[in-house]
Chain A
């Protein structure tokens, strides 16, 4: 550390010495100790630039040992007369907090930081706000950001005066605040709107975030609400003339905004038209937004554009453009005919990937408008040989199977696919199996051989449990009750809806709170990509006054679950059997990979993910398969008995173990309703012991509970009895008897239980794991009912 000796050498800059120190401190902590005195001395220097430099560098020496020596100089600097020193010291608190959070709290720096929010200098205010926001993020429970209206006022005043970056900090900090009522929300909005004309796109986006969030609280009838909506559109459009990287960020955010409030940009379709020289990432995003904005009024223009794009060079872009045409057809019914003819034109180009993509979307169009466009099947069949992608092959097979009765040589077509059955991907195999069964049910006489062939291929020669299971289900259905088989396999499919790639509403609301940030770029909650404790707090939009539309984040993973998990959304799915039969084509309209919504993820996870990871690798689905036919019962039977035997060693005690109550639904996720509970088993009956606490300011009534289908058919045996209305701060304990006669669905993990609780305010969802021992009867065997 000879550099310290040079400190007096005026020729060499103090700055360089400091920078060197910062970098060496980690490897030579003892040396760093020796430098402390210099810092303390420099913090008294008459030159404010030197004082600031000292306090800035101090925070960068990330050695635990010396932190306590820094407290005194830092305290002085936080109260320095020079604003430049104070603004640097404010950031230093955040630095120190990063090294030693406890120390910062003990020394009372957090309070000092809060006081700096009312500083006279705007830049000090901004840095204090930034530091506070960051510290609060790692302390979800703290009340650091519970700002009072006076502080908010100070922030808003500083907003007019500080640097562009400071404005971003302040706006981001404001976005965390929840106004008391709609009037306060409106007055904040009024003071934030001028920021929409700032040259810095980040200031604009952060202002949009504050406005989008606080708008939730405003009544839609208000004149101001309409004005605000109108004011939002032009700045969003202006963002598109920024540099391409910023355009990308803006477009990802606009994608969210358009989903949340389509009315803002509904007249601005043209600005999203793709320019030839746009970078590919901008093109793809623009395309996404075009589809979202497509409506009857502008569909002609959109289609003309999309057709233009389908002839471009970039393969991904072309594919997406073709897909977009299909989605337009599904979204705007009046345009379906034109879309189909455009798609046929594209198929005529014979460009391989265009043809394949077109077939995939035509399949969706068939599902949306059954019995309308089947005349094009002939054209599709001409291109059978050129299909080499699984998705396109699967789509084609589905079409052939679905319309087998109208295609004369359907059996030949399907047979041709069957030759290379084992080389196909699972998706195609499953589809082929279903298609041939459909064909058999429609034309039983000619195709008996074919169906037998496919069933044996699927059940005997395949290692894939999904495929085998489906094969067995069909086999069993066909052999026992062909009429039932017909009802099941040829059942009328639910129509697909237009917007399947919409982001799931609760996630969308959360992402709206993160406008401008990485979360909004990835379309994922921060917990999905931020490590550790930061960002795991779920943000949600403030409840709207006088509205029943507002949604709240559902309860996600229970305590102790890894923070990186996707939020567990309980998907609203059709009946399980229907899903088994139809879902393997993916969700009806497959969205772009980036925009995959968590509903889809959830659904796939629930249905698809499980089968491979079953206990013991046997192919049983759930205890109900005990009714499986005898001829294939061998492996299943043994699997089940294994499972039952497993239990013999456990639970010989008559009084079952009762886990302590855990919080299942924290109050902040459920508008003030906190639910904690546990499961008990007492003499042949299972019950769920619940403790409901009202932490809101209003009375709660009308409680009801419902379970999602689960692995063991757990269901409430009686309605949820909350006799009196639950007044604020009151707690009630309820024991809810459970039965195991509910409907069964394999869950992942097996003992996962998804619960919905309703009260007069809203419906809340949470998820919990029940201990398996509650299912065991006292003699050590599992209750089989």
Chain B
């Protein structure tokens, strides 16, 4: 299992070091935290042989000259797993054959938990909260085994106020919640107004050939729910999943054909741990008791019948050795009544560009030398419209034989519908003990489609 966990700043200085197992051997770092007055440690480690692991990572990964070639590094039979958040490095260390996927999942989770406690993960915040972080690390990782890491549950007993204040009832409630079947929700939540918000957030990914052939396209979507519901509500979520609709529609053929068009084929989906997976497996129904507040109910992926909101038509012409002519047309492909927002087209330019002249019909376009790209921004664009940009790129003559790699033209946008065609059909709430019914719950649904990696080769 995980032998230790280190957090470094961008310079490679250790901010947090928690060692769970002797074999990692950097206890010096650990005790330094408490024998020193501040959390700033690096200099205090000097002279100790046991700091090997901490240093090895700094030297071999953080200070390495080359780009990181793998997120897992093996140095002297010690394996380091790292993730980076802004300029902070989190590294888990082990000497055993651990479950690698679990370690990474844990590192992400650790980031989430820290963010939930003190916001952005930055050097400043980590230094200010280091006692809290150690306490968290002790609770969610026991001897290197990840334990309950749901922030909702953790916040009930890991606070900066100490643990003396709880009554006996509260204590047993905490422990049963942390270890129980519904570790993500506590009992006795009350709201005057029962309300829930559903966001269907999709990112549509596309790779298109210059000729307009779809090389690959998929939508990865998430259903994010914000629930403000009293008690222990039992929820059931329904969407226009093809399998479900076909099953239901067997009786009335008419309905099948009607709804069949609107149903979508979901390639695969994954659920928050509150969803009863065995029930989904057998009946394909999504039922759960939600955590309080915001959480990601499900993720899904579709590849069939995707509505591609924009089409990019590039035209690049090389005029001699020192000039390029680029023309890009974008077409919006959705209902004219809808408005796409935050549209940005990024047209890469060669490294030896000396000057660019741009003309665009709509929005603003600028050549950004530092990014080697022309960035064209349009605030809003309705459906079924078309717009174009043309640019002349002056090149410096070079003797570099290597051709320009022509990176793809990428695009960003936001549209108010789900490109996969997913529709929420219902979300029913039952709370057997309290007296509010499904009708009393105020429900909000919103669809947002964003661009993921939306590229057209040129």
Q: A residues touching B (Cβ–Cβ < 8 Å)?
A: 10-11, 13-16, 19-20, 23-24, 26-27, 46-50, 52, 56, 59-60, 62, 82-85, 87-88, 91-92, 94-95, 98, 121-124, 127, 130, 134, 137, 160-165, 168-169, 172, 191, 193-195, 197-202, 204-206, 234-235, 237-238, 241, 243-246, 248-250, 270-271, 273, 275-277, 279-281, 305, 308, 311-313, 349-351, 514, 516-522, 526, 529-531, 534-535
Are B104 and A249 in touch, CB under 8 angstroms? yes
Q: A124-B179, A199-B273, A516-B101 are in contact. Are A98 and B1 (CB under 8 A)?
A: no
Residues of A within 8 A of B149 (CB): 163, 165
The 0/1 profile, CB within 8 Å of A marked 1, for residues 95-110 of chain B is 1111111101111100
Residues of A within 8 A of B268 (CB): 197, 234-235, 237-238
Q: Which of A92, A191, A516, A534 is in CB contact (< 8 Å) with B100?
A: A516
The 9 closest A-B pairs by CB, nearest first: A234-B268, A84-B175, A202-B101, A194-B281, A526-B97, A202-B102, A194-B277, A165-B146, A23-B31
Residues of B within 8 A of A276 (CB): 407-408, 410, 453, 455
Known contacts A84-B174, A194-B278; 9 additional CB pairs below 8 A are A82-B172, A165-B148, A200-B273, A204-B270, A241-B220, A243-B83, A248-B72, A526-B97, A529-B74
Q: How far is it, in angstroms, between the C-alpha of A47 and the C-alpha of B157 when the chains are bound?
A: 12
Q: Is B37 on the interface with A (CB-CB < 8 A)? A: no
Chain B, interface size category, equals 35 or more
Residues of A within 8 A of B21 (CB): 98
Q: Is B258 on the interface with A (CB-CB < 8 A)? A: no
Q: Is B27 on the interface with A (CB-CB < 8 A)? A: yes
Residues of B within 8 A of A250 (CB): 101
Q: How far is it, in angstroms, between the C-alpha of A529 and the C-alpha of B31 when the chains are bound?
A: 28
CB distance from B223 to the nearest CB of A (A): 11
Interface centre among A199, A250, A305, A308 (most CB of B within 10 A): A199
Q: Which of B82, B145, B176, B180 is in CB contact (< 8 Å) with A165?
A: B145
Are A49 and B175 in touch, CB under 8 angstroms? yes
Give the contact stretch, choosing among B63-71, B117-125, B357-365, B383-391: B63-71
Are A516 and B102 in touch, CB under 8 angstroms? yes
Are B181 and A161 in touch, CB under 8 angstroms? yes
CB distance from A345 to the nearest CB of B (A): 12
CB distance from B47 to the nearest CB of A (A): 14
Q: A194-B277, A199-B296, A202-B102 are in contact. Are A519 and B207 (CB under 8 A)?
A: no
Query: Which A residue sits closest to B140, measured CB to CB?
Result: A165
Q: Which of B100, B278, B457 is in CB contact (< 8 Å) with A517?
A: B100
Residues of B within 8 A of A281 (CB): 68-71
Q: Is B405 on the interface with A (CB-CB < 8 A)? A: yes
Are B146 and A277 in touch, CB under 8 angstroms? no
Are B220 and A280 in touch, CB under 8 angstroms? no
Q: Is B30 on the interface with A (CB-CB < 8 A)? A: yes
The 0/1 profile, CB within 8 Å of A marked 1, for residues 32-62 of chain B is 0010000000000000000000000000000
Q: A163-B148, A198-B271, A529-B74 are in contact. Are A238 and B100 (CB under 8 A)?
A: no
Residues of A within 8 A of B273 (CB): 163-164, 198-200
Residues of B within 8 A of A520 (CB): 100
Q: How far is it, in angstroms, between the C-alpha of A600 and the C-alpha of B34 when the chains are bound?
A: 51
Interface centre among B101, B270, B301 (most CB of A within 10 A): B101
Q: Which of A98, A163, A202, A311 is in CB contact (< 8 Å) with B403?
A: A311
Q: How far is it, in angstroms, between the C-alpha of A250 and the C-alpha of B363 when the chains are bound?
A: 42
Are A87 and B280 in touch, CB under 8 angstroms? no
Q: Is B79 on the interface with A (CB-CB < 8 A)? A: yes
Q: Kindly count the residue-residue contacts between A and B in the assembled complex, taking CB atoms under 8 Å apart.
A: 261
Are A270 and B216 in touch, CB under 8 angstroms? yes
Q: A56-B138, A83-B175, A91-B145 are in contact. Are A197 and B102 (CB under 8 A)?
A: no
Q: A48-B175, A248-B72, A275-B207 are in contact. Are A197 and B280 (CB under 8 A)?
A: yes
Are A49 and B401 in touch, CB under 8 angstroms? no
Residues of A within 8 A of B31 (CB): 23-24, 27
CB distance from A470 to the nearest CB of B (A): 36
Residues of A within 8 A of B79 (CB): 518, 529
What are 6 A-B residue pairs whose CB atoms fall within 8 Å in the complex? A26-B27, A50-B163, A160-B276, A200-B105, A237-B268, A351-B402
The 0/1 profile, CB within 8 Å of A marked 1, for residues 259-300 of chain B is 000000001111111001110110000000000000010110
Residues of B within 8 A of A519 (CB): 97
Residues of B within 8 A of A26 (CB): 27
Are A517 and B157 in touch, CB under 8 angstroms? no
Are A198 and B69 in touch, CB under 8 angstroms? no
Q: Is B178 on the interface with A (CB-CB < 8 A)? A: yes
Q: Which of B81, B143, B301 is in CB contact (< 8 Å) with A245?
A: B81
Query: Which B residue sits closest to A172, measured CB to CB?
Result: B99
Are B277 and A197 in touch, CB under 8 angstroms? yes
Residues of B within 8 A of A87 (CB): 147, 179
Residues of A within 8 A of B30 (CB): 23
Q: Which of B105, B148, B179, B457 is in CB contact (< 8 Å) with A308?
A: B457
CB distance from A207 to the nearest CB of B (A): 10
- Interface class of chain B by DSSP: mixed
CB distance from A211 to the nearest CB of B (A): 13
Are B74 and A130 in touch, CB under 8 angstroms? no
Q: How far is it, in angstroms, between the C-alpha of A165 and the C-alpha of B143 when the chains are bound?
A: 14
Q: How far is it, in angstroms, between the C-alpha of A313 and the C-alpha of B403 when the chains are bound?
A: 10
Q: How far is it, in angstroms, between the C-alpha of A127 and the C-alpha of B277 when the chains are bound?
A: 21
Residues of B within 8 A of A163 (CB): 147-150, 183, 273
Are B100 and A19 in touch, CB under 8 angstroms? no
Are B281 and A311 in touch, CB under 8 angstroms? no
Q: A15-B135, A172-B99, A517-B98 are in contact. Are A245 and B270 (CB under 8 A)?
A: no
Q: A91-B142, A244-B71 are in contact. Are A529 and B99 (CB under 8 A)?
A: no
CB distance from B269 to the nearest CB of A (A): 6
Are B71 and A245 in touch, CB under 8 angstroms? yes
Q: Is B425 on the interface with A (CB-CB < 8 A)? A: no
CB distance from B36 to the nearest CB of A (A): 12
Q: Is B77 on the interface with A (CB-CB < 8 A)? A: yes
Residues of B within 8 A of A245 (CB): 71, 81-83, 104, 107
Q: How far is it, in angstroms, between the C-alpha of A14 and the C-alpha of B162 when the chains are bound?
A: 9
CB distance from A653 to the nearest CB of B (A): 45
Q: How far is it, in angstroms, between the C-alpha of A11 and the C-alpha of B183 when the chains are bound?
A: 29
Are B176 and A10 in touch, CB under 8 angstroms? no
Q: How far is it, in angstroms, between the C-alpha of A197 and the C-alpha of B401 when the chains are bound?
A: 50
Are A273 and B216 in touch, CB under 8 angstroms? yes
Residues of A within 8 A of B106 (CB): 165
Q: How far is it, in angstroms, between the C-alpha of A512 and the C-alpha of B27 when the chains are bound?
A: 35
Residues of A within 8 A of B145 (CB): 91, 127, 130, 165, 169
Q: How far is it, in angstroms, between the C-alpha of A281 and the C-alpha of B34 when the chains are bound?
A: 38
Chain B, 164-213, CB within 8 A of any chain A CB: 164, 166, 168, 171-172, 174-176, 178-181, 183, 207
Are A91 and B143 in touch, CB under 8 angstroms? yes
Q: Is B215 on the interface with A (CB-CB < 8 A)? A: yes
Q: How far is it, in angstroms, between the C-alpha of A127 and the C-alpha of B144 when the chains are bound?
A: 11
Q: How far is it, in angstroms, between the C-alpha of A483 and the C-alpha of B423 when the chains are bound?
A: 80
Q: How far is it, in angstroms, between the C-alpha of A275 and the C-alpha of B407 when the chains are bound?
A: 11
Q: How far is it, in angstroms, between the C-alpha of A204 and the C-alpha of B215 when the chains are bound?
A: 28
Q: A200-B273, A530-B97 are in contact. Are A248 and B455 (CB under 8 A)?
A: no
Q: How far is it, in angstroms, between the C-alpha of A94 and the C-alpha of B272 when the chains are bound?
A: 30
Q: Which of B97, B207, B281, B410 is in CB contact (< 8 Å) with A193?
A: B281
Residues of B within 8 A of A308 (CB): 457
Are A518 and B100 in touch, CB under 8 angstroms? yes
Q: Which of A169, A313, A350 is in CB contact (< 8 Å) with B405?
A: A313
Q: How far is it, in angstroms, between the C-alpha of A648 and the C-alpha of B79 when the chains are bound?
A: 51
Q: How far is it, in angstroms, between the C-alpha of A695 and the C-alpha of B150 when the chains are bound?
A: 48
Q: A199-B299, A312-B405 are in contact. Are A534 and B99 (CB under 8 A)?
A: no
Q: Is B131 on the interface with A (CB-CB < 8 A)? A: yes
Query: Which B residue sits closest to A95, measured CB to CB?
Result: B143
Residues of B within 8 A of A191 (CB): 278
Residues of B within 8 A of A88 (CB): 142
Query: Which B residue sits closest to A22, measured CB to CB?
Result: B30
Q: How far is it, in angstroms, between the C-alpha of A305 and the C-alpha of B209 when the chains are bound?
A: 10
The 0/1 profile, CB within 8 Å of A marked 1, for residues 121-142 of chain B is 0000000000100110010001
